[in-house]
Amino acid sequence: MRALAGPAMLLVMVGGFLVFRLTSKEDAPSRDFTALEFSGADADHTGTCYSLDTILIANRQGDAVRTWTSPRDDVWTLKIENVVGGYSGPVHIFQTYTFEKHDQQVRLTSVDASKGLPTEIAQNIDTLLEGPKAWRSTPIDRCLEPGATGYLFEPRR
Amino acid sequence: MVTRKTGYPIYVRILLLIASLLVLLPLTGCQRRLDEGEVREFIDKADNAARKRFAPEICELRGKDFELHLKFQGHEEQFEPTELTMDRKLFCKEAGKFSRLRQYKLERNSIEINLANDGKTARVKSEYVETLPYYEPDIMPATPDDFREFQLVETTDESVVGIESGDIVFLRTDSKSSQSLIAKNSVSLPYD
């Protein structure tokens, strides 16, 4: 028994450390979720040729705070907030996007935002797509093939 | 002198000691009572962290559920004051932006400390004047020196401080600020 006391104590400490790390880690969707193709704003939810991950990276604002929460399975909400200087003083601005998994795609299903920012879903999808276009981001594998099509997608020449 | 051997190897005894200390550590926080001297020392430390504009140090003095509520009257009095609430995460991000300033002065004009009866928290009311560059909204400064006026921000802070994990931290701060502008050449602030 005595020979086991040391390793057992070590196990407790390592276990405690791992529990601490796991519980203190911030919530975020798995790679399986963010690697899904982002759906377009048309009625058929045509794929945009970009993964959610690519969309979010291309739209990243360095100064903003990002917080992920998951209200239920396969649904993730991303809140992006910042404080900007206005003529009347500092102003808190935010946008909250809700993404839902549908088959092999992820759809933007609702948008909440501070005063003055758009909450219309189609408008937000189109705005989000401007990021990867401007950065000439890499599309998902399906859209690397010649002749591939997607919502507002312009293949590289 | 009688000594008794436990029979455990030395590394097991060290591990047992560390584990016991880790278990007992949070209990020391439960028993601790604040006194006015250490609260004043804590506020001095927080003010110095602000003067250094070093975000990690500013941030670590805030509790995990810290909130700042700010009411800010800008220099253009025809506009209503803005009000906003920041949680710890947003506050810490803002502290990071604060570190970009190269000229900054913080003066504390008064401090008033009231300890709670149970000694676990204290209310601190303090008045400050900050002097810092005024960057006009909608204009991206090319360098930290790209500004025309300094802003004087007079602030009254009412904070609640308490003990978290054995350390004194800010639990909440309510700030009321008013801003005025002065010509850049009327103040001489060192670059640091």
Phi and psi based region of residue B138 (left: phi greater than 0; alpha: psi -120 to 50; beta: remaining): left
Assess contact for B62 and B87: CB atoms under 8 A: no
Query: The domain that contains B147 carries what CATH number?
Result: 3.10.450.50
Query: What is the mean predicted confidence (pLDDT) over A108-123?
Result: 97
Nearest chain B residue to A82, by CA: B90
pLDDT higher than 50, residue B3: no
> Is residue B19 assigned to a domain?
no
Q: Give residue-wise pLDDT tens across range A85-101.
A: 988 899 999 999 999 99
Position B84 scores a pLDDT of: 96
Q: Which domain holds residue B134?
A: 34-186
Q: How many domains are there within chain B?
A: 1
Closest CB to B8: pick one of A5, A87, A91: A5
Put simply, the answer to whether A83 touches B73 (Cβ < 8 Å) is no
Region of poorest pLDDT, from B8-17, B25-34, B123-132, B171-180:
B25-34
Please report residues of A whose CB lies closer than 8 A to that of B84.
Answer: 83, 90-92
Put simply, the answer to whether A89 touches B12 (Cβ < 8 Å) is no
Position B101 scores a pLDDT of: 92
Please report residues of B whose CB lies closer than 8 A to that of A23.
Answer: none
> Is residue B17 assigned to a domain?
no
Position B1 scores a pLDDT of: 46
Position A86 scores a pLDDT of: 87
Position B2 scores a pLDDT of: 46
Region of poorest pLDDT, from A11-15, A72-76, B144-148:
A11-15
Query: What is the mean predicted confidence (pLDDT) over B127-145?
Result: 92
Percentage above 90 pLDDT, chain B = 73
> Is residue B43 assigned to a domain?
yes
pLDDT higher than 90, residue A13: no
pLDDT higher than 70, residue B24: no
Residue type, position A124, single letter: N
What ipTM did this prediction achieve? 0.78
Nearest chain A residue to B151, by CA: A89
> Is residue B26 assigned to a domain?
no
> Is residue B9 assigned to a domain?
no
> Is residue B27 assigned to a domain?
no
Predicted TM-score of the model (pTM): 0.81
> Is residue B129 assigned to a domain?
yes
Minimal CA separation from A119 to chain B, in Å: 21
Q: Give residue-wise pLDDT tens across range B75-99.
A: 998 999 999 999 999 999 999 998 8
Read off the pLDDT band of A53 (50, 70, 90). very high
Minimal CA separation from A7 to chain B, in Å: 9
Please report residues of B whose CB lies closer than 8 A to that of A81.
Answer: 90
> Is residue B5 assigned to a domain?
no
Q: Give residue-wise pLDDT tens across range B144-154.
A: 889 999 999 99
Rounded mean pLDDT of chain B? 90
Position B192 scores a pLDDT of: 82
